[in-house]
Structure 1
């Protein structure tokens, strides 16, 4: 399948889109911070932030628990939503660029399956070597190890073909899924429930220290993806064409897969598996900023962050006194959107190439 894309927008229009996405993210975070069982007006949310910055230009939360609710519960959770959404959006954009295929998403290289398998092992065998950090660390390392395995198994003669990489990823994902099913069989009812809930994804219980661990990894990964963006554009020429203009295709593919693995593993380590963000967001952003990765990567970061902040707001407020799995909600929205994108692509291209 080929990427059938419109002509890229102008630099001015791309700047406007990125600015609009940034503004939308600020508005979404402000609204989400004030929503919940304890309602805090947007003006008080902004006033609290300004007060922490040393600018007493707004009104502090009037409720006695307002400040603690914002800074101990909601802001860490929103910061995690921004980081996870941005990481998954960028990982999806890079994957689609590397594979030259709109159906590519981070899970293709096995990172999500490996993270789930490692998390399940921690739950079933009640591993506590690192205390409360055991599960996220295991999930992060499991995702990286699985990705490395997919890459090494797909190499042939010192080179890696895209088709071989995809098929190897399918095989490794299938084996990881079988191992996960076996662990669920070994576990008791409580362990099974924990594994299922982790796989559905949730930002409930996000804390500031988790954000401080995730932020450097996510920001470095996004920065590297932006640095690779110009060379990712050249992959549209095909491997031979890219090599002809001086791109080391194998090295670029390795670097891109490492970036995808790190971003996705960092995202799922604390939040669990959140589906469709890395698949849908790059599609939508490509429609408004064009195929060039210099605009597509930051747009995917902002778009993914906005989507996950809104999805988390929905998860917290849809049902009173309940916190729905956020991965369930992204799939609920992402499935119909993806179906619409498929129909749109077929009408535009006159069929699959």
Structure 2
């Protein structure tokens, strides 16, 4: 199944790079990619403009969709384990709200002081700050249980979003459309030089989740069972929260706020491969990447040549999915 998923992912990337306002055949897409990796390997039968569209615009965007989809899905799967909450997702802890605060501050009040990395950098710092606030509030209140940590995250999320709305209210109204587009999610800022940051963080955090898959299985059963197996429950839960915050903060910094991916994908994965996190972790990353690539394709072509925010597509699909899931459980 994983091998088949990799094939589907490669085909999805090829299709995503092909479609758009300017249609480019898949043979040209792969020719450009091969020629960029190994120059003069294949004869050049395409124009410089099409090569720029494939290599400089569409391929980095498709790869960023893969990284963001995989990262958000991994965090959702891990949080659903340590909180034993089927509705847990990367936005649960106020991380996305912190990222939104940082991005709005950069877009409306600071400007591009460090170039194109300004918005991702400010968004990441905001997400990290919100995470530290959640951990600080939970420690101050002695909230070490899963439910208390979730409540602390929800409270911080409301506070941070209120502060972000104040920044929007005080900012230049002519720039509000840029803020709205970022808050609804978008991959239009993808560049080759930026992809290394989410890639490195995804590999590191994903490896940690996969190596601790046995502990995540135990946490699904309950704190008592995990404790009897020798797992330091409180410390492990906090570690998963921090690792998830790091991964989510980096993804949100480069893509904006994209909802429902981390909430929906782990449920579908469990239908396909079961509940063992040794399988759930890699399958979630793979399916999340495929899903977000197709969501981005839909966002680009449904109102072409306009670029619809990808968060609208994921929100619509995610909402319909959970309506179906509720109906299915009711029938059961």
Common fold by TM > 0.5: yes
Tell whether 2:193 aligns with 1:203.
no
Unaligned runs of 5+ in 1: 1-15, 349-353
2:197 pairs with one of 213, 228, 231: 213
Distance in 1 (CA, whole Å) between partners of 2:318 and 2:54 is 29
With normalisation by structure 1, the TM-score equals 0.89
1:260-339 alignment, distance < 5 Å: 260-339=244-323
For residues 119-165 of structure 1, the C-alpha deviation after alignment (integer angstroms, 9 at most, x for no partner) is 11222322444232222111111111211211221136866111111
1:1-80 alignment, distance < 5 Å: 16=1, 18-54=2-38, 60=44, 62-80=46-64
Distance in 2 (CA, whole Å) between partners of 1:156 and 1:258 is 17
Corresponding position of 1:115: 99
With normalisation by structure 2, the TM-score equals 0.94
Tell whether 2:99 aligns with 1:92.
no
User: Helix, strand or coil: the match of 1:320?
Assistant: coil
Tell whether 2:236 aligns with 1:252.
yes
Distance in 1 (CA, whole Å) between partners of 2:111 and 2:209 is 34
1:168-187 alignment, distance < 5 Å: 168-187=152-171
Distance in 1 (CA, whole Å) between partners of 2:241 and 2:286 is 21
Distance in 1 (CA, whole Å) between partners of 2:179 and 2:301 is 24
RMSD over aligned Cα atoms: 1.9
Unaligned runs of 5+ in 2: none
* Structure 2 contact 269–283 (Cα < 8 Å) conserved: yes
* Structure 1 contact 154–168 (Cα < 8 Å) conserved: yes
For residues 195-247 of structure 1, the C-alpha deviation after alignment (integer angstroms, 9 at most, x for no partner) is 21110111113111111222111221212111121110011231111011111
Tell whether 2:66 aligns with 1:82.
yes
Corresponding position of 1:13: none
* Structure 1 contact 201–273 (Cα < 8 Å) conserved: yes
Distance 1:128 1:226, change over 3 A: same
How many residue pairs get matched? 332
User: Helix, strand or coil: the match of 1:108?
Assistant: coil
2:139 pairs with one of 155, 178, 181: 155
The Cα of 1:107 is off from its aligned counterpart by 0.9
Q: Name whichever of 40-49 and 24-33 sits farther off.
A: 40-49
Distance in 1 (CA, whole Å) between partners of 2:327 and 2:85 is 16
